[in-house]
Copies of this chain bind each other. A is one copy, B any other.
Amino acid sequence: MRMPILALFASGMLCFAQPSWREEGLLHLQKSPQARLHPVPVRAVQFQTGFWKTRQDVTIERSMPTLLELLEQNGIVDNFRRLARPDRQPPRRGPLYTDSDLYKWMEAAAWSLQVKPDPKLEATLDQLTDTILAAQEPSGYLNTWFVEERAPLRWQQQVSGHELYCLGHLLQAGIAYYRSTGKRKLLDGGIRFVEYLLRDFGPAPKRPLLTGHPELELALAELHRTTGDRRYLDLAAYLFSGIERERLKLRERDLVYLFSGKPFPERTRFEGHAVRALYAATGAADYVLETGDGAFRDTILRLWEDLALRKLYVTGGVGSRAAGETFGDPYELPNLQAYTESCAAIAGMLFNQRLLHLTGEAKYADLMERALYNGICSGMSSSGDLYCYRNPLAAPASDRIRNPWYTTTCCPPNLQRTFAALGAYFFSTSQDGVWVHFYDNATLDWKLESGTPLRLSIKTSMPWQGETEITVAPQKEEEFTLHLRIPSWSLSTSVEINGRRVGGPVRPNEYLAWKRLWRPGDRVRLVFDLTPRRVFANPRVAEDYGKAALQRGPFIYCLESTDNPGISVFEAALAGGSAIRSLPPAAAPAGAVRLQAGGLAYSPPLGQRPLYGFQPVTPLKPVTLTFIPYYAFHDRGPADYTVWLPCLNCGW
């Protein structure tokens, strides 16, 4: 028999730790004690007409509603509804982790309410909350897979079961909805599940627990921030402790693949399942933000180095191997075979965001940008209803990598929650002032940590042209530091404040920290250097040796057959000496600056030539090559495309 949830509330069976978080009514991120930077809430940032406004609009107006329809059509919501029906119909559908897909969609929708209030959407979220919580058991346990004949399997399949993974996304949805609306019902449902865990699971003599797919760790850190309840952070610490290896009979390969189950500070490299590993590392970074733990801090910095120096695609994509969706060996970064799951690129951005907030170092924002403008942005079509699971750096037209739906549909709602909450990634505060990480037409309406309300208005032609003006408007004049990120690709950047050029070096891949008495209406003008350039990989990356990619501003480009009729993009090369021209925007990809460069095509075609010979085969036919930003591949339909091309006379 199931006791109604309200009765449980009334009965006092649900034990909450500290009531303060609810009384205080703090509906945004709390300051992590060890963080140098602190987040701004989603609602504090509004995008104006521009690149990210377009993407955020299509996410909210087209992507979210169509995905909810598909979640309904594929029975993902019915998986909850059926549990409240006496006949338990229709039968459950989809793989065992589908609950998380709905939660992630709800998280996206919740954030979107801060961008664009929508009573109808809010009502939908309230209904979904009721639907979900009606499936929650009195104990707090909530999962649509491990029910009925599979109920005895609960906690018996922690390596593969995704129970805690789903809980993590439930908590994140609950927190997002609470922060956006003040409504705590969904969050309370998640907390009930956590309280159930705290009662029954933990170090012996309690039952052992493992995040077979890390994710709960970050959610618990956020829950700790939201509630102030240290027990949630302690549960994350327990999950990172690796003390249950024996009790759970974990094999060495589990520890590698799951990136879970061994003491986190023993990690020396990224390995195993890419999303699992990056979520674990992000959760560990959250733990450092909350506790300052030195061993965890050393570990996340070591892991970051492994990622940045050896395991990251030029697009910010992560995860080289389809088999197991795993990291490859160092420098194993194949292009056509790249797995580069959208979720992994997002996870990489989350990891870098935590490190940015911990340190204030621009190199982390650089990798966030690399992912966001390339390997994450590519994950959703401009139409908002096609998604990539894989984002390879080259693909033939026959490889249908953009699809409206996947049986494992983790990526679409993950992209949505990222784009919906995007404003929060653009700015931060610190004790000494405010930080601008990325540049687009946007307004920050927030406050300095001194409490003084502050508005920053950015008017810019970025990301397509470099002119940028920021109007700084504290409510009253006040001395603070404006930290302006100078992107790694802007090799010469000019900065003027109120018309006066800033002296001293303005170095790429650093934050320019400008401390002064800022007055309402002060203007900062930046001109970034958007010269298109060839990018080269470390020669250890076997597939990219002798080759180049094109980059302009934050965008990596690709050569797609759509723009290059008569040329096989896999049989073309860049001519090193040739200039790279920026073309004015065309109808499609909408608004994008395309690039044009002189190249050479192999003729006769390579497919007719021997595999090996005693002379190198060089391309001889001059051609003009037209490139589009990588994120827009397949946006005009299936096509061959490639990021890396042989680069003749490029200095190799």
- A residues lining the B interface (CB < 8 Å): 308-310, 312, 314, 321-323, 328-329, 332, 334-337, 491, 533-543, 545-548, 570-571, 573, 602, 606-607, 609-619, 646-648, 650-652
Q: Are A615 and B546 in contact (CB under 8 A)?
A: no
Quick one: given A545-B545, A546-B652, A652-B546, are A614 and B536 in contact (CB under 8 Å)? Answer: yes
Residues of B within 8 A of A648 (CB): 652
Q: Contact between B651 and A538 (Cβ–Cβ < 8 Å)?
A: no
Q: Are A652 and B543 in contact (CB under 8 A)?
A: no
Contact A613 B535 (CB under 8 A): yes
Cβ-defined contact, B309 with A613, below 8 A: no
CB distance from A392 to the nearest CB of B (A): 11
CA distance A332 to B543 in the complex (A): 10
Task: Determine how many copies of this chain the complex contains.
Answer: 2
Interfacial chain B residues near A570, Cβ < 8 Å: 540
Which chain B residue has the least Cβ–Cβ distance from A556?
B612
Q: Which 5 A-B pairs have the closest CB atoms?
A: A546-B546, A323-B323, A536-B616, A542-B543, A616-B651
Decide if B540 touches A571 in the complex (CB within 8 Å). Answer: yes
Chain B hits for A613, CB < 8 A? 535-536
> Given contacts A616-B652, A618-B651, is CB(A611)–CB(B312) below 8 Å?
yes
Look across to chain B and name the residue whose beta carbon is closest to the beta carbon of A323.
Answer: B323
CB-CB under 8 A from A545, the residues of chain B are: 545-547, 646
Question: A614 — which chain B residues lie within 8 A by C-beta?
Answer: 491, 533-536
- Residues in B with CB closer than 8 Å to A535 are 612-614
Q: Which residues of B contact A615 (CB under 8 A)?
A: 536, 651
List 5 contacting pairs A-B, 8 Å CB cutoff, sorted by A. Answer: A308-B611, A314-B612, A328-B337, A538-B611, A546-B547
Q: Is the CB of A334 within 8 A of B616?
A: no
Interface contact A606-B536, CB-CB below 8 Å: no
- Of A328, A537, A539, A606, the most chain B CB neighbours within 10 A belong to A539
Closest B residue to A370 by CB, please name it.
Answer: B612
Q: Which residues of B contact A542 (CB under 8 A)?
A: 334-336, 542-543
Residues of chain B within 8 A (CB-CB) of A534 are: 614
Cα of A166 to Cα of B573 in the assembled complex, Å = 50
Residues of chain B within 8 A of A536, CB atoms compared? 612-617
Question: Quick one: given A323-B323, A332-B336, A618-B651, are A540 and B607 in contact (CB under 8 Å)?
Answer: yes
Given contacts A546-B646, A616-B652, 16 further A-B contacts (CB under 8 A): A309-B607, A312-B611, A322-B323, A332-B336, A334-B542, A535-B612, A536-B614, A536-B615, A538-B606, A538-B617, A539-B573, A539-B619, A539-B646, A615-B651, A616-B651, A652-B652
Q: How far is the CA of A545 from the CA of B126 in the complex (A)?
A: 57
Q: How many Å lie between the Cα of A319 and that of B534 in the bound state?
A: 34
| Chain B residue at minimal CB-CB distance from A321 | B323
The answer to whether B323 and A332 touch across the interface, beta carbons within 8 angstroms, is no
Is B652 a contact of A618 with CB atoms below 8 Å?
yes
Query: In the assembled complex, how far is the CB of residue A560 from the closest CB belonging to chain B, in whole angstroms?
Result: 18
Contact A617 to B539, CB < 8 A, known contacts A310-B611, A322-B323, A652-B546 = yes
Q: Return the contact of A602 from the options B334, B335, B539, B607 (Cβ within 8 A).
A: B539
What is the chain B residue whose CB lies nearest that of A651? Answer: B616
A328 to B323: give the CA distance in the assembly, Å: 13
How far is B537's CA from A314's CA once the two chains are assembled, in angstroms? Answer: 25
The 8 Å CB contact of A329, one of B308, B336, B652, is: B336
Greatest chain B CB density within 10 A among A328, A538, A548 is at A538
Write out the residue numbers on chain B whose beta carbons fall within 8 Å of the beta carbon of A571. Answer: 539-540
Smallest Cβ-Cβ distance to A537: which chain B residue: B612
Query: CA separation between A308 and B609, bound complex, in Å?
Result: 10
Tell me the complex Cα distance, A543–B535, Å: 18
Docked pose: A619 CA to B310 CA in angstroms: 19
**Closest-CB distance, A555 to chain B (whole angstroms):** 14
- How many whole Å from A374's CB to the nearest CB in chain B? 12
The smallest C-beta distance from A568 to any residue of chain B, in angstroms, reads 10
With both beta carbons as reference points, the residue of chain B lying nearest to A608 in the complex is identified as B309
Per the bound structure, the CA–CA distance linking A314 and B322 in Å amounts to 25
Expressed in whole angstroms, the Cα–Cα distance for A545 and B335 within the complex equals 13
Provide the bound-state CA to CA distance between A67 and B347, in Å.
49
- Who on chain B is nearest to A547 by CB? B545
Q: Which residues of B contact A611 (CB under 8 A)?
A: 308-310, 312, 314, 537-538, 541
Closest to A647 in B: B616
A652 to chain B: which residues have CB within 8 Å? 546, 616, 618, 646, 648, 652
Nearest-neighbour CB distance to chain B for A380, whole angstroms, equals 24
In the bound complex, CA of A550 to CA of B227 (Å): 65
**How distant is A576 from chain B, measured CB to nearest CB, in Å?**
10
Give, as a whole number of angstroms, the nearest-CB distance from A361 to chain B.
15
Which chain B residues lie closer than 8 Å to A606 at the CB level?
A: 538-540
A312 to B650, CA, bound (A): 29
Give the Cβ gap from A368 to chain B, nearest Cβ, in Å.
Answer: 15
A310 / chain B contacts, CB cutoff of 8 Å: 611
Give the Cβ gap from A345 to chain B, nearest Cβ, in Å: 15
Complex Cα distance, B334 from A533, in Å, reads: 28
Question: Given the complex of chains A and B, what is the CA–CA distance between A648 and B329 in angstroms?
Answer: 26
Chain B CB within 10 Å — which of A322, A491, A546 has the most?
Answer: A546
Q: How far is the CB of A453 from chain B (nearest CB, A)?
A: 40
Q: Return chain B residues, CB-CB under 8 Å to A314.
A: 611-612
A309-B610, A323-B322, A611-B537 known; A616+B650 contact, CB < 8 A: yes
Cα separation A24 to B80 with both chains bound (whole Å): 76
